[in-house]
């Protein structure tokens, strides 16, 4: 049974059909890519899975349970978490504090803080404020925050945006590490196809709110619908 099942999910915003019936199945332990042109509905899919908003139609199942009507915090408690396109920080709080929050709220042991910091490579900057971080450092902190709730499934939105190829490869190393060491299932969303190709086992393509293809990169880019979506 897939760990996550998105069944025919629709989401309409005033004047725009963001998701027009998306179906997606992700297996335990998979690193899945999700690509698609700007405005395709990638971020809306993530926020709908997290419970930021309710789907207008269809349902979302996590580990065999219908979570479509569940509050965001209950979804987090069940093991889901995500990083968002734009990082959110409290400038007065140290990096350590940002990672500690999710750990304390959930009553997890304080030792999680350093373990997570070491996993993402922020252990030397824990007492700094987030505004000293480079674009890569900010991505690391986003991933650290998502890990702080001990998720079993994380979704990383625009996880390579603003990074060089080499920095993107560092993020890929972190993704591989967490997938292996923490047995996480990961959904990687980005525009940088060369980087998504390097980390994802299977990639799903969405365009205008619907899934148009799914497969390895070789399969995807021999598909005319995918080429057309990217070439306009």
Is 36 among the residues that bind ligand ADP (CB under 6 A)?
A: yes
- Which positions from 40 through 99 interact with Mg ion, judged by CB under 5 A? 42-43
Q: Strand locations in 27-74, DSSP E?
A: 31-35, 57-62, 65-66
Provide the sign of the torsion angle of the four alpha carbons 43, 22, 171, 98, taken in this order: positive
DSSP annotation of 14 reads T
* Least gap, CB of 85 to ligand ADP (angstroms): 7
Residue with smaller CB distance to Mg ion, 119 or 204 = 204
Buried b (16+ CB within 10 A) or exposed e, 100-130: bebbeeeeeeeebbeebbebbbbeebbeebb
Of 19-27, 36-44, 170-178, 207-215: span binding Mg ion (CB under 5 A): 36-44
Residue with smaller CB distance to ligand ADP, 18 or 136 = 18
Is 44 among the residues that bind ligand ADP (CB under 6 A)?
A: yes
Is 39 among the residues that bind ligand ADP (CB under 6 A)?
A: yes
The helix/strand count (H/E) of the chain reads as 9, 10
Kindly report the length of the chain. 232
Q: Of 4, 35, 43, 200, which one interacts with ligand ADP (CB under 6 A)?
A: 43
Q: Which does 41 bind (CB under 5 to 8 A by kind): Mg ion, ligand ADP, none?
A: ligand ADP
Q: Which does 220 bind (CB under 5 to 8 A by kind): Mg ion, ligand ADP, none?
A: none
* Least gap, CB of 38 to Mg ion (angstroms): 8
* Least gap, CB of 189 to ligand ADP (angstroms): 7
Is 224 among the residues that bind ligand ADP (CB under 6 A)?
A: no
Binding mask 61-90 for ligand ADP (x = CB under 6 A): ------------------------------
- Which CB contacts under 8 angstroms, 24+ apart, belong to 60-63? 60/4, 60/5, 60/6, 60/7, 60/9, 61/4, 61/5, 61/6, 61/7, 62/3, 62/4, 62/5, 62/153, 63/3
What does the alpha-carbon distance between residue 75 and residue 71 come to, in Å, rounded to a whole number?
6
Structure tokens of 142?
Answer: 């986003």
- Which positions from 171 through 210 interact with ligand ADP, judged by CB under 6 A? none
Chain position whose Cβ is nearest to Mg ion: 43
Structure tokens of 207?
Answer: 């365009």
Q: Of 42, 75, 139, 145, which one interacts with ligand ADP (CB under 6 A)?
A: 42
Output the 3-class SS for 212-230: EEEECHHHHCCCHHHHHHH
DSSP annotation of 92 reads T
Is 38 among the residues that bind ligand ADP (CB under 6 A)?
A: yes
Contacts with ligand ADP by CB under 6 A lie at 13, 16, 18, 36, 38-44
């Amino acid at each position: 049974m897939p760990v996550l099942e998105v069944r025919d999910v629709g989401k309409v915003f005033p004047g725009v059909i963001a998701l027009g019936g998306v179906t997606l199945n992700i297996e335990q332990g998979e690193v899945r890519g999700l690509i698609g042109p700007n405005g395709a509905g990638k971020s809306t899919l993530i926020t709908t899975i997290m419970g930021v908003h309710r789907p207008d139609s269809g349902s979302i199942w996590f580990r065999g349970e219908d979570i479509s009507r569940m509050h965001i915090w209950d979804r987090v408690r069940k093991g889901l978490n995500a990083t968002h396109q734009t990082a959110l920080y409290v400038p007065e709080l140290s990096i350590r504090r940002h990672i500690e929050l999710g750990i304390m709220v959930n009553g997890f042991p304080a030792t999680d803080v350093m373990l997570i910091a070491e996993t993402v490579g922020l252990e030397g900057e824990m007492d700094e404020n987030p505004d000293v971080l480079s674009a890569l450092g900010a991505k690391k902190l986003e991933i650290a925050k998502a890990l702080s709730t001990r998720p079993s499934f994380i979704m990383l939105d625009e996880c390579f945006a603003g990074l060089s190829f080499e920095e993107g490869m560092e993020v890929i190393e972190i993704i591989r590490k967490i997938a292996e060491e923490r047995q996480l299932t990961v959904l990687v969303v980005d525009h940088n196809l060369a980087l998504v190709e390097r980390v994802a086992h299977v990639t799903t393509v969405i365009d205008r709110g619907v899934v148009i293809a799914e497969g390895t990169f070789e399969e995807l880019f021999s598909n005319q619908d995918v080429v057309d979506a990217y070439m306009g």
